[in-house]
């Protein structure tokens, strides 16, 4: 037999960061590359929180065009936020078609994460805990603490949403 003396369940405040902006991007290059990634055996289509087409997890980790953009993000984050040493863990492309969605999730145990949109679209990325919605447009990006939950509800536009997501993990 046990005796419970106290039981607490409560939300606590937690520091986070959320950065959004626009980056110059060659959308055609990335969309064509993502389409090629869908054809590979290790694609993650319909196997993850992205309930649609997705490349492999590390698809853009060695891509020079992605790494150029990533260096800009790293420079800003390093200048603005004090974080422990980190490294790019994974980066993948995806396409969400009519009826597609991304289920609610977060990216822990990673340190920080991000998304870059390759085209304009109406399907928002919703961060409910911090009351933020990102409306995709070409070059729009968000960088955020990985523990922030987010999702994109099903959309019924006859238009695809293209994007790249990525995670930075502690470099131990």
pLDDT at 18: 95
Task: Give residue-wise pLDDT tens across range 119-161.
Answer: 999 999 999 999 999 999 999 999 999 999 999 999 888 999 9
Query: Is 65 contained in some domain?
Result: yes
Query: Is 50 contained in some domain?
Result: yes
Helices in 21-163 by DSSP H: which ranges? Answer: 27-38, 64-80
Query: Is 10 contained in some domain?
Result: no
Query: Is 18 contained in some domain?
Result: no
The boundaries of the domain holding residue 95 are 25-170
What long-range pairs does 22-26 form, CB within 8 A, spacing at least 24?
A: 22/137, 22/139, 22/140, 22/141, 23/69, 23/72, 23/116, 23/139, 23/141, 24/139, 25/69, 25/116, 25/118, 25/138, 25/139, 26/65
Model confidence at 46: pLDDT above 90: no
pLDDT at 125: 96
- Identify the CA nearest to 55 among candidates 43, 40, 68, 39: 43
Lowest mean pLDDT among 30-39, 41-50, 115-124, 152-161: 41-50
Query: Is 98 contained in some domain?
Result: yes
Task: Give residue-wise pLDDT tens across range 107-127.
Answer: 999 999 999 999 999 999 999
Provide the number of structural domains found in the chain. Answer: 1
Query: Is 71 contained in some domain?
Result: yes
pLDDT at 41: 93
Which residue did the predictor score with more confidence, 3 or 31?
31
Query: Is 3 contained in some domain?
Result: no
pLDDT at 165: 97
Which residue did the predictor score with more confidence, 5 or 128?
128
pLDDT at 106: 95
Query: Is 12 contained in some domain?
Result: no
For the domain that residue 138 is a member of, what is the CATH number? 2.60.120.620
């Amino acid at each position: 037999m046990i005796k419970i003396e106290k039981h607490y369940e409560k939300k606590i405040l937690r520091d986070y960061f959320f950065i959004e902006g626009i980056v110059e991007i060659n959308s055609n290059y990335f969309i064509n590359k993502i389409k090629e990634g869908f054809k590979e055996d290790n694609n993650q289509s319909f196997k993850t929180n992205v309930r649609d087409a997705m490349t492999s997890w590390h698809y853009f980790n060695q891509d020079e065009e992605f790494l150029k953009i990533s260096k800009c993000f790293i420079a800003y984050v390093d200048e603005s936020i004090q974080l422990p040493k980190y490294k790019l863990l994974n980066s993948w492309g995806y396409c969400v078609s009519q009826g597609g969605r991304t289920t609610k999730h977060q990216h822990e145990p990673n340190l920080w994460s991000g998304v870059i949109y390759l085209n304009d679209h109406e399907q928002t990325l919703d961060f409910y805990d911090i009351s933020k919605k990102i409306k995709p447009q070409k070059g729009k990006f968000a960088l955020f603490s990985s523990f922030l939950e987010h999702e994109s509800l099903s959309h019924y536009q006859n238009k695809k949403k293209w994007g790249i997501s990525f995670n930075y993990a502690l470099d131990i």
